[in-house]
Structure 1
């Protein structure tokens, strides 16, 4: 009788753990997903605004590329301080602050009239948003051990393709339907109507987000203990706990370089996808928006399937490298078939699927071996250095387009960068460190 009782408890433990993580997923992930959806939409809707704004304000491709990219300069300088503040004051207060301020600034983009005001507002938007993405990655380490983190990060980053699926047709429709309403251009309405909801989501964060397991009143004591024990065991396996020690770790700088390349591909597509589709001969903003959604639909399927496979097999490097190569090939062939809408959309779909798949997979690498206070600074350092690529890729593609009257050279460049990222992960990141 006693033996049967012990067996029953042991058999029930995995069910209790699964129940606890199911609660966590359904409680925090929808809200974080919504945050990233509106965040990414506010960050890249300038790509659609460009379709009208550049003509209305007489902006060259270089001016647009510099303005789109200067966001990341503000982001870079305030990223690490922002994440360290989040570590000290808690995720609820700081993520809410971030979202409310950047929603207001995004809406105020409607009043841009000159290149200088465009640059200033994009810089301030970067300052306001700094710390959001690495803050959420840090926050997920409070809830999920390494073996569950790949799927959790993938759920969060699904906000990127969903923002494309929803935001692309919506942005195209706003440009087309609201142009001239109340004397405002369509691009002005675009910034206003897509910026205001971010403020409301920030208020939801303030009301509903818990800072950690101990604050979650919706978990019972046994569930809290299971989750906290898993996190403590996971932290015990990490190798770096001091931010100063982390700065001397060459792996961190290699990872920052890899992430720089990953984001070059991501922002190259995000900021220029409407322009690439328009170059195939599609003219109406709504049609461009609908076609822009197709690559993101393909990407959301690929990224979730591959990230699940990565968690199931506890293998990170090849699950990263193969999609990175496919992403590079997709960008290159989108340029090769630039005049053919069907082939170009197919190639862009492969490119988006590869790039968006490796975004969450990348974050399973550093979070596998950094913990403690170092995680706040380390994640922010990698993210801030990597995000400088948003400035580089946006400006370079704009400059090359003005110079050559084509985006093809830019796409070839981004494809090559993704090949290098794949080689760096396989060649320089040890399997024993990240395949856990």
Structure 2
């Protein structure tokens, strides 16, 4: 047992001494959640600012006095668009779409002819694009009012326009809406687990082999299992540390949210953090064992790095699987590592209670992955050094 603890202490000291490992673990865990929530809140604030701006930028409004009257009655202001609005929209000098009104607009409306309005904006101008939806909603209101007035003047009941009214009944619970804007958080946490411990796993295998420090370690009277468990324990502790730091970063991240709506919806508490730890710590341990097993056969640091990056590609691929199964998620999802954890984290963010059976299955799968990887490492450790 003393030998095992000595190996763990030595490997953990080497891992924390390596600047690349330490910086990767800290950056991936501490910056991921704050950056994502900051981006989400900024985008939502931009959308809402366009909703609240209540200004219409128009070219040719003099040709549509009744439309002008309607817009003003809705509490909007009307500003004339600059003559070079196209160039200014591309250069982002204006942050709104431009309503273009043809010169024959009013005459066609009076004669009952169809007339086209254009909304001009550059697709690279995100702020202008965000303003399209409220402008279209305003114009739809004018179209509806105009139709009602025309029918009323002809003595036709406006109720004939829509004999059947369809309403949507929102079944989603209020607390579930917060995941619609934070659905990338689980993937970010999973990526942090893989990236955070990857360099420690590579350094303790291919890195030591490349430096020639693995052979002296083998000269000690230690078994393959002691080496495997010792190296895995150090890398797993780094991976678990990344999990803890990442989840801890959720709490100060809430202070960085600039959008009031998102701040009210995303309430991450200590109970949520506890469930995240229960779900993710076993996965971090099993990923560490897999990364060591993958890097063990590599003769150089670069080769081990390339092979371990293939594992990191597994996460975004798995996250696309639910798209292939719209509706109720199949039961076998809970048997797939990463997919099961992603599913359970989303349930926690929605405020739903986790299924105890699903949690146990995830733990069993992670334990089996860990044991299988450690058995392979223990069996291959001395062979790799001698080759």
Flag the structure with larger Rg.
Answer: 2
Higher helix share: 1
Give the TM-score band, short-chain normalised: 0.3 to 0.5
TM value normalised by structure 1 = 0.33
